[in-house]
Amino acid sequence: MKTVRIYGSSRNLREAPARTPDVEVWLANNTTTVLLRHPPAINEWTRWFNLHAKQWMVGTYPAAYQYYQTKAEGRPIYFQKADPDVPTSVAFPRKEVQAAFAVEGQPNHYFTCSVCWLIAFAILEGFERIELWGFELRDTKPGSAYRFERPCFAYWVQVAKERGCDVLYQEAITRLYEAGELIPGDPILYEGKLYGYETKSEPDWDFERRCFAYEDR
């Protein structure tokens, strides 16, 4: 079964099993969290993703950007567009992903965090099993971004299952489903910005300036 493991940044990432040769491992954004939560992943990953503007990426994740430049060892790193300063960087096929999951004939605009892009891309790439490790989606502080990321996360998990994918997630996500706190959002109703491409354009970006449709969640 064609399998990909998508790693998040929560503490339960440490529970992820060792990678086997037939499994891909996808990481996103920062290197520091990976080294803290699950050190083996820094050697096991097969693709890395950072879909933010370069200015924001360099200003926020300088160590990660340096890693992209020197430690990729031939493995692809997906940016908004290929970066000549990162030899293995490639352009993420944003338009193809949006078109593949079009809603009412329009490119799907419902992406509120990195993992949503990655789930959609994994479906498009033909993965039969998608494992989500290191995701809790808990509201750890007032104004947590998770309150509008959760419905989008649930939406893309639902799309994956509807497309025939076997989706695995940890107990923390199961508890959210059981508590009724993980309900798929509606891409037609979403009026927010396209994550990465329309957000975080400056290093001092503040998520409170983001527009989103799920203020009551």
DSSP 133: E
Which overall architecture, per CATH, does domain 3-209 show? Alpha-Beta Complex (3.90)
Q: Is residue 209 classed exposed, middle or buried when 0-12, 13-18 and 19+ CB atoms within 10 A define those classes?
A: exposed
| Residues 212/191, Cβ–Cβ less than 8 Å | yes
Strands annotated E in 2-88 = 3-7, 23-28, 47-49, 77-79
Between CA 184 and CA 196 the distance in angstroms is 21
Q: What is the percentage of the chain residues whose pLDDT exceeds 70?
A: 88
Q: What is the pTM of this model?
A: 0.90
| Backbone angles phi and psi of 4, in degrees to 5 | -130, 140
Strand pairing of 129-133 and 166-169? Answer: parallel
Average pLDDT over residues 193-208: 65
DSSP H or E segment with residue 98? helix 94-100
Query: pLDDT grade, residue 145 (50/70/90)?
Result: low
pLDDT surpasses 80 at 144? no
How is the chain split into domains, by residue range? 3-209
Q: Distances in Å between the alpha carbon of 72 and those of 15, 42, 77, 81, 167?
A: 24, 10, 8, 17, 28
The dihedral through the CA atoms of 144, 186, 184, 111 has a sign that is: negative
Q: How many helices (H) and strands (E) does the chain have?
A: 8, 7
pLDDT surpasses 80 at 161? yes
Q: What is the per-residue pLDDT across 115-133, written as a single tens digit (0 to 9) for each?
A: 999 999 999 999 999 999 9
Between CA 198 and CA 164 the distance in angstroms is 30
